[in-house]
Amino acid sequence: MSDFGARLGLRRWRARRALRSAQLLDEVVDTQLPLLVGFSEERRRRSADYLAELVELAQNYRYYAAGWIDGRELDRRGQATMDKLTRLRQDPTGVLGQER
């Protein structure tokens, strides 16, 4: 197999893996979303913000799989999402709105 063919195969494998990751994140959100109804307003808002970040991360995986962003950009966006989730967990007010 040529070097080009090997790179193309690796790219397709990474794209499939990214789509699987996006699907997994979608499943997490889909299973957690119905639970929000039983939460207090503050907890529901915090949980919705958390789930929204997961949805955004899933979309970034899809962008990577489509070739719209490269691996470095996916890593940067993934780290930014993790930073937001960490701040959301640590902030007792649960406000991330200023960044959006």
Q: Which residue has the higher pLDDT, 86 or 4?
A: 86
> Is residue 2 scored above 70 in pLDDT?
no
> Is residue 7 scored above 70 in pLDDT?
no
Residue ranges making up the domain that contains 79: 3-92
In a domain, 18, yes or no: yes
* Tally of domains within the chain: 1
In a domain, 100, yes or no: no
In a domain, 11, yes or no: yes
In a domain, 80, yes or no: yes
In a domain, 28, yes or no: yes
Number of CB atoms found within 10 A of residue 10's CB: 10
CB-based contact 36:47 (threshold 8 Å): yes
Q: Which residue has the higher pLDDT, 9 or 37?
A: 37
User: How far, in Å, are 14, 25, 100 from residue 19 at the CA level?
Assistant: 9, 10, 25
- d(CA 85, CA 32) in angstroms, rounded, equals 16
In a domain, 99, yes or no: no
- pTM here is 0.81
- d(CA 39, CA 89) in angstroms, rounded, equals 16
CB-based contact 25:61 (threshold 8 Å): yes
> pLDDT tens digits, residue range 38-90?
999 999 999 999 999 999 999 999 999 999 999 999 999 999 999 999 999 99
pLDDT of residue 13: 87
CB-based contact 64:74 (threshold 8 Å): yes
94 confidence band (pLDDT: 50, 70, 90): low
